[in-house]
């Protein structure tokens, strides 16, 4: 095996990934989180793909055909695993059941069963120059089996793309549900980063395939267009995501429970809520949740949600943050010497980014701009 600098870099990333998996297994706290099971499988599959790429590019024969699974559609694994990972994070009531095995059916059929049972095999040209070799201009006899897997080579990337697009919907709903229950929302951005990085890898892989398909010339170095980003994905994302404490949401509770307060009751509770916000200042607690406010009002969480939505025409998240922004404005005026970070904490925010975003949303300007205007009018 002749190793160049790029191959050595991939080897480093593979060992880095193996080290991550070892840490994940060795840590009881991380191992027992259900979402980390799917993260473990995702990282394992990425390591498999990198190892396969390394073996192919260095003409090292493993002697086990399924190891070269990309030829048969092994990317069909990634979509379902990302979907299960997102469901485990965003819905605390979700559990893997027998019906979810259907998501793995394409992988089982095309990667495990058909290659094992079929007496046909891929052509030497497909194995040597890639699955798209059947579409080049050279004269050849192509069997239905070879056509099937050449087309499936495209489909596996489309298959992953469909899951990643659907994951965006899961993230959106999760963020929306969090804002109906929590006054501070953290880490949703990391779900977006995770999904966007996978989308980027998919786009880069598509660019590579397009160049290869259109030019009809195999350029070995172009493989690194998508291989190196996959290595970056393993290195940079895996460690951080495995340690995050995700905010829990029960989608069954969110979806099926409701409140049925009358208009008069809502108006009465709305007046009471204003008094609670004015005198008890619950918005100054950066970990305030909807149920905390409901307990203070002696009503159910669904009732307080209905009161806020119908009386104040906003979510719980925005309702609390409006009070926090008003508190922040008072602090900036009264104490111009303190930092904006301290203002954010004192007003009830748990980080500066959330503070700045909320300030721009409600005041249409940044807190630093507001401070300049009030201090130096």
- How many CB atoms within 10 Å of residue 364? 9
pLDDT single digits (tens) 43-95: 999 999 999 888 887 767 777 778 888 888 999 999 999 999 999 999 888 99
| Higher pLDDT among residues 16 and 217, named by residue | 16
What is the distance between the alpha carbons of residues 182 and 185, in angstroms, rounded to a whole number? Answer: 7
| 16-41 mean pLDDT | 85
| 39-45 mean pLDDT | 92
pLDDT at 1 over 60: no
pLDDT of 137 reads 67
* Cβ atoms of residues 7 and 57 within 8 Å: yes
What is the distance between the alpha carbons of residues 125 and 270, in angstroms, rounded to a whole number? Answer: 73
| Higher pLDDT among residues 353 and 208, named by residue | 353
pLDDT single digits (tens) 152-166: 988 999 999 999 999
| 308-316 mean pLDDT | 90
pLDDT single digits (tens) 96-127: 999 999 999 999 999 999 888 876 677 777 77
pLDDT at 168 over 90: yes
| 30-39 mean pLDDT | 85
Handedness of CA 305, 278, 187, 30 (dihedral sign): negative
The chain-wide mean pLDDT, for the chain, equals: 85
Kindly state the percentage of the chain with pLDDT values over 70: 91
Delimiting residues of CATH 1.20.1070 domain(s) in the chain: 5-251
pLDDT of 115 reads 84
Look at residues 191, 181, 118 and name the one whose alpha carbon lies nearest to residue 149: 118
Kindly state the percentage of the chain with pLDDT values over 90: 39
CATH architecture entry for 5-251: Up-down Bundle (1.20)
What is the distance between the alpha carbons of residues 286 and 346, in angstroms, rounded to a whole number? Answer: 9
- The residue with tokens 């004015």 is 278
pLDDT of 377 reads 62
pLDDT tier at 256 (50, 70, 90 boundaries)?
very low
pLDDT at 205 over 90: no
| Higher pLDDT among residues 218 and 325, named by residue | 325
pLDDT at 326 over 70: yes
pLDDT of 69 reads 87
pLDDT of 355 reads 93
* Cβ atoms of residues 90 and 249 within 8 Å: yes
- The residue with tokens 């007003």 is 347
| 344-358 mean pLDDT | 92
CA gyration radius, the chain? 27
What is the distance between the alpha carbons of residues 183 and 294, in angstroms, rounded to a whole number? Answer: 13
Nearest 5°: phi and psi at 224?
-70, -10
Burial (Cβ within 10 Å: 0-12, 13-18, ≥19) of residue 119: exposed
> What token pair was written down for 372?
């300049």
pLDDT single digits (tens) 126-144: 776 677 777 766 677 777 8
β-strand partners of 365: none
* Cβ atoms of residues 315 and 179 within 8 Å: yes
pLDDT at 250 over 90: no
pTM of the model: 0.84
Q: Concatenate the DSSP letters of all residues of 128-197 into one string.
A: HH-GGGGGSSS-----HHHHHHHHHHHHHHHHHHHHHHHHHHHHHHHHHHHHHHBSS--SHHHHHHHHHH
What is the distance between the alpha carbons of residues 174 and 178, in angstroms, rounded to a whole number? Answer: 6
Q: Looking at the domain 255-375, which fold is it?
A: Arc Repressor Mutant, subunit A (1.10.10)
pLDDT tier at 195 (50, 70, 90 boundaries)?
very high
pLDDT of 252 reads 60
pLDDT of 251 reads 63
pLDDT of 78 reads 95
* Cβ atoms of residues 343 and 330 within 8 Å: no
What is the distance between the alpha carbons of residues 242 and 187, in angstroms, rounded to a whole number? Answer: 12
């Amino acid at each position: 095996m002749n190793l160049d600098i790029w191959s050595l870099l991939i080897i480093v990333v593979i060992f880095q990934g193996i080290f991550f998996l070892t840490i994940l297994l060795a840590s009881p706290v991380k191992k027992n989180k259900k979402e980390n099971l799917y993260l473990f499988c995702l990282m394992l599959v990425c390591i498999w793909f990198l190892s396969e790429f390394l073996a192919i590019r260095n003409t090292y024969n493993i002697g086990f055909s399924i190891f070269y699974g990309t030829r048969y559609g092994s990317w069909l694994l990634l979509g379902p695993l990302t979907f299960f990972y997102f469901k485990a994070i965003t819905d605390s009531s979700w559990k893997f059941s027998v019906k979810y095995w259907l998501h793995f059916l394409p992988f089982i059929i095309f990667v495990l069963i058909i290659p094992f049972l079929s007496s046909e095999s891929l052509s030497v040209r497909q194995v040597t120059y890639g699955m798209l070799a059947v579409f080049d201009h050279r004269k050849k006899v192509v069997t239905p089996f070879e056509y099937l897997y050449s087309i499936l080579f495209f489909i596996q990337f489309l298959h992953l793309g469909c899951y990643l697009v659907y994951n965006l919907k899961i993230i959106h709903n999760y963020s929306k549900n969090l804002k109906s229950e929590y006054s501070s929302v953290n880490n949703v951005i990391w779900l977006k980063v995770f999904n966007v990085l996978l989308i980027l890898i998919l786009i880069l892989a598509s660019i590579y395939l397009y160049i290869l398909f259109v030019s009809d010339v195999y350029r070995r170095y172009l493989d690194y267009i998508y291989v190196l980003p996959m290595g970056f994905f393993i290195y940079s994302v895996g460690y951080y995501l495995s340690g995050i404490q995700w905010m829990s949401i029960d989608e069954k509770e969110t979806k099926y429970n409701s409140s049925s307060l009358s208009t008069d009751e809502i108006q009465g509770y709305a007046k009471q809520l204003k008094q609670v916000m004015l005198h008890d200042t619950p918005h100054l607690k950066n970990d305030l949740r909807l149920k905390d406010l409901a307990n203070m009002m002696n009503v159910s969480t669904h009732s307080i949600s209905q009161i806020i939505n119908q009386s104040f025409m906003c979510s719980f998240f925005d309702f609390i943050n409006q009070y926090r922004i008003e508190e922040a404005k008072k602090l900036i005026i009264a104490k111009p010497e303190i930092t904006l970070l301290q203002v954010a904490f004192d007003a009830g925010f748990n980080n500066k980014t959330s503070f700045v975003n909320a300030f721009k949303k409600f005041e249409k300007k940044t807190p630093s701009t507001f401070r300049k205007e009030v201090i130096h009018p």
